[in-house]
């Protein structure tokens, strides 16, 4: 289920980042406004990077649940042989 939630978060971030990136490319390549174009591209890349790597306060319960579930449901390293 976390895969779906992460995908929705990424889609929400891309809704904001893609228009900035497209405008930055247009300003950089078509209109020769290098500073503004690079700034908008940096903003778009920064939005996606921050969303991917930054832990928000709303993500803490999810991280705790992952850690607890991983500890409780840990697979045994080796299975004992039943030689009777």
- pTM of the entire structure? 0.61
Domain boundaries, the chain: 2-72
User: Residue 77: what pLDDT?
Assistant: 63
Helical ranges in 1-84 per DSSP H: 2-25, 34-53, 60-72
Give the pLDDT band (50/70/90) at residue 62: confident
> Which residue is listed with tokens 């697979």?
75
Question: What pLDDT, in 10s, does the model give residues 20-37?
Answer: 999 999 999 999 889 999
- Are 48 and 15 in contact, with CB atoms under 8 Å apart? no
Average pLDDT of every residue of the chain:
81
Measured CA to CA in angstroms, residue 40 lies from 10, 23, 25, 78 at distances of: 18, 7, 8, 53
- Are 18 and 45 in contact, with CB atoms under 8 Å apart? no
């Amino acid at each position: 289920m976390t895969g779906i939630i992460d995908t929705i978060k990424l889609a929400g971030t891309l809704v904001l980042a893609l228009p900035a990136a497209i405008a930055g490319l247009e300003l950089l390549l078509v209109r020769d406004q290098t500073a503004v174009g690079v700034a908008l591209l940096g903003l778009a890349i920064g939005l996606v990077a921050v969303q991917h790597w930054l832990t928000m306060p709303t993500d803490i319960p999810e991280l705790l649940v992952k850690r607890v579930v991983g500890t409780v449901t840990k697979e045994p390293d080796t299975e004992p042989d039943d030689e009777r």
